[in-house]
Amino acid sequence: MRQYFGKKLPLSFFIATMTLIVVPSQSEVANAFGTVNQLGQNSEHARITRHALTCQPASSAGTCLEENTLESLAGTRGTFGAVGAPDRGRGMLTSFAHCSAGDHFEVQGYPQTAAEAQAKLTECRDYMVSNLDHAVIDAADLLDQNGDFRSRETSMFGGCVYKGSQHGRAKCNVLAHMGRILHASQDFYSHSNWVDLPNFEAPNSTDNPPGLGQRGPSPWLDLRMARPQFPRGLISGCFDNQSYLGEDKGCLYGDGTVHRVRHLNVNKDTGTIDPYIGAATTERGAINDNFKHAVQAAILDTADKWRTLNDRLIATYGDTNGRKMICALTHDSPKKSC
């Protein structure tokens, strides 16, 4: 769920409500599954991540994160965390970080072909694959040459800073890459038409584009697969700041009066997730339980993305070292707990 569910936040909001925190610039806004608790957002990214990765009595080893590590990945109130980091700075301006810009509609003169829309969404998937590759590479620094935990590189003491390309310790770097993957994959379900259905009481149009009505994670987003088949009819919304703000002047074409399929027309970014998945607060999310299905798919896919990292670590570094790396990434104090 892309650093999205939500609208652009004014700088005044951060000045007024966030103390002892570095105030982001006006470009550091949230346009996807929400990352803050104001202006219609309810930290949807963080909540989805916690649903997927919080340790439960039945959790198996390596599939859940201890408290401090999970807080760093998901973020706490007033912070973005690794999963919210793409909603600040330059990340907000890159469509591939949020699986946006894959819009298409079968009408004469539409400014983007189906192939071009597919290419935009494929760029988002490639971004996830690249971050997974970098997470696996950075994990090598969790252990020394003897396969022992490197105390500084695995510690959560002092926290992580998810800004820029380097975040401090090896564990922070791995979590940063995973945050980008999870943000993009969560946004995929919010920003695309994979899970949703249109309003059947109105004709299909750029205001009411077709939906695929799928349930659960998309096989196309399984990062274990090298060249998965692209889902026929899959689209997301036009990437334009005005469209995110819900203004009709965004994403216009032709004589300047016709609009493309906008983020406004497909997003399922905001709504109630805790203590249960409840009401949606976007138009597309509120019909046909679209928000609920987007959240459910995002939770399942978030858990699978973490399992994918585990699989890659074992395949790359062997069973013994791979499992030690997994333990270092899931435990707050691996030298004591693993």
Give how far Cα 97 sits from Cα of 42, 117, 129, 261, 321, Å.
Answer: 20, 15, 12, 19, 31
- pLDDT exceeds 90 at position 221: yes
E-strand stretches of 125-261: 252-253, 258-259
Quote the crossing angle between the two packed helices 290-317 and 319-330, to the nearest 10°. Answer: 140
Task: Enter the pTM of the model.
Answer: 0.87
What is the DSSP-derived secondary structure letter of residue 142? G
Q: How far is Cα 224 from Cα 160, in angstroms, rounded to an integer?
A: 28
- pLDDT exceeds 50 at position 106: yes
What is the token pair recorded at 199? 């309003």
User: 235 near 104, Cβ under 8 Å?
Assistant: yes
Percent of the residues in the chain that have a pLDDT greater than 70, as a whole number: 84
3-state secondary structure (DSSP) of residue 259? strand
Q: How far is Cα 288 from Cα 268, in angstroms, rounded to an integer?
A: 11
User: 246 near 264, Cβ under 8 Å?
Assistant: yes
- pLDDT exceeds 70 at position 41: no
pLDDT tens readout for residues 313-330: 999 999 999 999 999 999
Position 244 scores a pLDDT of 53
3-state secondary structure (DSSP) of residue 60? coil
Neighbours of 140 (CB within 10 A): 15
Nearest to 234 by CA among 273, 189, 276: 189
pLDDT tens readout for residues 45-90: 999 999 999 999 888 888 999 999 999 999 987 788 999 999 887 7
User: 152 near 14, Cβ under 8 Å?
Assistant: no
pLDDT tens readout for residues 150-188: 999 999 888 898 876 666 799 999 999 999 999 999 999
3-state secondary structure (DSSP) of residue 236? strand
3-state secondary structure (DSSP) of residue 253? strand
- pLDDT exceeds 50 at position 15: no
Q: How confident is the model at residue 92 (pLDDT cuts 50, 70, 90)?
A: confident
